[in-house]
Amino acid sequence: MQDQLKLDSFICFAVYTASHALNRVYKPLLDALGLTYPQYLAMVSLWEQDGQTVGGLGEKLFLESSTLTPLLKRLETAGYVRRERSREDERVVVVRLSEEGIRLKEKAIGIPGCIAAASGRDAVDLTRLQAEIVALREALNKSVA
């Protein structure tokens, strides 16, 4: 019985399927905003701090430019952001919210509450679990670095 090659005992499988489950809860909420889930994360990051570079967003979201560049182009096509090369350093692309992108925040305000409700946990418990998962992420990232 020492066979630990069981799916249901894998922390990785729990995280993997929880991630998909979250996506399914978000889907209808984000459809109303015309955003996918990764696009929503990028917008949240820009609402926190406008005018970030592609690389800066990548560091915050843990994504590569090969993922972000097409995603940001789609956000630009949707009219939520503008992408422009920095004048000081022509290598850098700065991403700025459009008026419409700024306005979108109001529509997104209620989303975290919906997710919290769907989780069936109170705020304190969610925050604790969130911190634990972040700690797991940091430990894993450290082990690869």
**Site for DNA, rule CB under 7 A:** 16, 20, 23-24, 27, 36-39, 53-56, 58, 62-72, 74, 83, 88-94
- CA atoms within 13 A of residue 4's CA, in its CB half-sphere: 3
- CA dist 84 and 87 (Å) reads 9
Torsion region of 3: left, alpha or beta (phi above 0 gives left; psi -120 to 50 gives alpha): beta
Residue 124 engages a copy of itself in binding (rule: CB under 8 A): no
Amino acid at 28: P
Of 82 and 105, the one with the shorter C-beta distance to a copy of itself is 105
- How far is the first Cα of the chain from the last one, in angstroms, to the nearest whole number? 34
Of 28 and 91, the one with the shorter C-beta distance to a copy of itself is 28
Q: How far is the CB of 123 from DNA (least distance, A)?
A: 26
Give the one entry of a copy of itself, DNA, none that residue 68 binds, where binding means its C-beta sits below a cut-off of 5 to 8 angstroms depending on kind.
DNA
Give the one entry of DNA, a copy of itself, none that residue 32 binds, where binding means its C-beta sits below a cut-off of 5 to 8 angstroms depending on kind.
none
Residue with tokens 């069981």, as numbered in its chain: 6
- CA dist 74 and 83 (Å) reads 11
User: Site residues (CB under 8 A) for a copy of itself?
Assistant: 4-22, 24-26, 37, 41, 44-45, 47-48, 60-62, 105, 108-109, 112-113, 115, 117-121, 126-127, 129-130, 132-134, 136-137, 139-144
